[in-house]
Amino acid sequence: MIDHQAEMPPHGSPVVGIDLGGTWLRAAAFDPAGSIVRRGRVTTDRDAGPSRVVDQIVALVCEVVVSPTEAAAAPSVAVIGVPGTVDPRSGVVHAAANLAEWKEVPLRQMLEAQLGCPCVVENDANVAALAEYRRGTGRGVANFAYITVSTGIGAGLILDNHLYRGSVGGAGEFGHIVTIPDGPLCHCGNRGCINAIASGDGIASAAGAESAEEVVRAAAAGDAKSQGVLDAAARYLGIALGGLINLLALNAVALGGGVFGAGDSFWNVMVAAVAEGSFPATRAHCRIRRAELTSDLGLLGAFELTREGPLTGGEDRGASGSEA
Ligand SMILES: [Zn+2]
């Protein structure tokens, strides 16, 4: 079913990339070379449930595939990145924490019925990792991880030059590696996930603040408790990152996201702590960089996913069993 990823777009029918975020819903139509020709965005109606959001997506896609001077062109394929747990084979979104009522949503089926074109559903961090691998810091890097640290922590893995999805598409959940047993409660239900410690939400909650920005401001003004929260978050993040580098012998890691706006100190503490969680020889072969692409990551990655070919690396040998 997912083989349509490998199909070439018919002439004149644009590839459409969609980036479904908790705040913004964006879409763009691409030319065959992968440049954005038209784009649009609306505020995601995140509290209204899946049907309403699907209507928003369809309306936005229709907008970006039609220009004032051209006739409507149905997309050749639409690729959507979703902030949640996704099975790209079935196109079902199992859960999306920031979107109300998103549980077991057959998103691909819903979109294909309304858009009349093949659709591909993928985790948003995987989409971003692919963009960074093809067009950013990860260019030419065979074994690469992209990690975003903002409100939450997301990650995508490129292993042996392919997006790695794991057994049911759930690979790359770096944010939910438990770093402190019995630590702060994570929205996934476990305690002490690195997401609950070093994400924007985790930092704010540890400091008893409204937002991570508030913690950063307080630390900059000399508040020792706030500085301590930031240092601890950065250190645990670095240790977890060291474990990831050890596990996969990565050639490079790119990190992006709002939390790095906390300044050089956060970054430096994190990088130093990588040594606490990794072997010197493995670490020496892994570059740790800031992500290059800050905007359009989700849209560009959606286009790049159409070049990725059929799903590889994670399918069960008896895959027919899961399709039956
Ligand atoms: Zn968690």
Superfamily of domain 139-290: ATPase, nucleotide binding domain (3.30.420.40)
Angle (CA) 110 114 117, round 5°: 95
% of the chain exceeding 90 in pLDDT: 78
Cβ atoms of 70 and 109 within 8 Å: the answer is no
Into which CATH architecture does domain 2-126+297-323 fall? 2-Layer Sandwich (3.30)
Mean pLDDT of 298-319: 72
Distance from the CA of 196 to the center of ligand 1, in angstroms?
7
User: What is the model's pTM?
Assistant: 0.86
Instruction: State in Å: Cα 10 to ligand 1 middle.
Output: 42
* Closest to 241 in 3D by CA, of 254, 230, 260: 254
Per mean pLDDT, which range of 63-77, 125-139, 235-249 is the poorest? 63-77
pLDDT at 202 over 50: yes
Which is more confidently placed, 67 or 158? 158
Residue 86 Cα to ligand 1 midpoint, Å, equals: 16
Q: How far is the CA of 244 from the centre of ligand 1 (A)?
A: 16
User: 3-class DSSP state for residue 98?
Assistant: coil
Question: Do the two domains 2-126+297-323 and 139-290 of this chain adopt the same fold?
Answer: yes
Ligand 1 midpoint to CA 159 (Å): 23
Domain extents for the chain?
Answer: 2-126+297-323, 139-290
What percentage of the chain has pLDDT greater than the value 70? 89
CA of 62 to the centre of ligand 1 (A): 36
In this prediction, residues 115-142 reach a mean pLDDT of 95
The pLDDT-based confidence of 308 (bands split at 50, 70, 90) is confident
Q: How far is the CA of 188 from the centre of ligand 1 (A)?
A: 4
Mean pLDDT of 266-279: 96
**Ligand 1 centroid vs 172 CA: distance in angstroms?**
13
Region 12-33: mean pLDDT is 93
CA 191 – ligand 1 centroid, Å: 7
Distance of CA 184 from the midpoint of ligand 1 (Å): 10
Average pLDDT over residues 93-101: 89
Q: Given pLDDT bands bounded at 50, 70 and 90, which one contains residue 23?
A: confident
Centre of ligand 1 from the C-alpha of residue 198, in Å: 11
- With b for 16 or more beta-carbon neighbours within 10 A and e for fewer, the 102-134 pattern comes to beebebbebbbebbebbbbbbbbbbbbbbbbbb
Give the model's confidence band at 263: pLDDT under 50 very low, under 70 low, under 90 confident, else very high.
confident
